[in-house]
Chains A and B, each alone.
Chain A
Amino acid sequence: QVQLVQSGSELKKPGASVKVSCKASGYTFTGYAMSWVRQAPGQGLEWMGWINTNTGNPMYGQGFTGRFVFSLDTSVSTAYLQISSLKTEDTAVYFCGRYSSSSGAFDIWGQGTMVTVSS
Chain B
Amino acid sequence: SYELTQPPSVSVSPGQTARITCSGDALPKKYAYWYQQKSGQAPVLVIYEDSKRPSGIPERFSGSSSGTMATLTISGAQVEDEADYYCYSTDSSATYRVFGGGTKLTVL
Contact = CB atoms under 8 A, between A and B. Distances in A.
Interface stretch (A10-18, A71-79, A81-89, A102-110): A102-110
B2 to A, nearest CB: 9
B27 to A, nearest CB: 14
Interface residues of A, number: 20
B86 A44 contact: yes
Contact of A105 (B33, B37, B95, B99): B33
Contacts of A110: 42
- Which size class do B's interface residues fall under? 20 to 34
Interface string B50-76: 001010000000000000000000000
Tell me whether chain B's interface is mostly helix, strand or loop, or mixed: strand
Nearest to A111: B42
B26 to A, nearest CB: 13
B12 interface: no
A61 interface: yes
Contacts, number: 56
B86 A45 contact: yes
Nearest to B40: A112
Contacts of A46: 99
Contact of B42 (A47, A61, A62, A112): A112
A55 B101 CA distance: 32
Contacts of A80: none
A106 B96 contact: no
A71 B99 CA distance: 23
A103 B101 CA distance: 22
Contacts of B33: 104-106
A45 B102 CA distance: 8
Contact of A47 (B31, B96, B102): B96
Contacts of A47: 88, 96-99
Contacts of A62: 1, 96
9 contacts: A37-B43, A44-B84, A44-B86, A44-B102, A47-B96, A105-B33, A105-B48, A106-B88, A109-B44
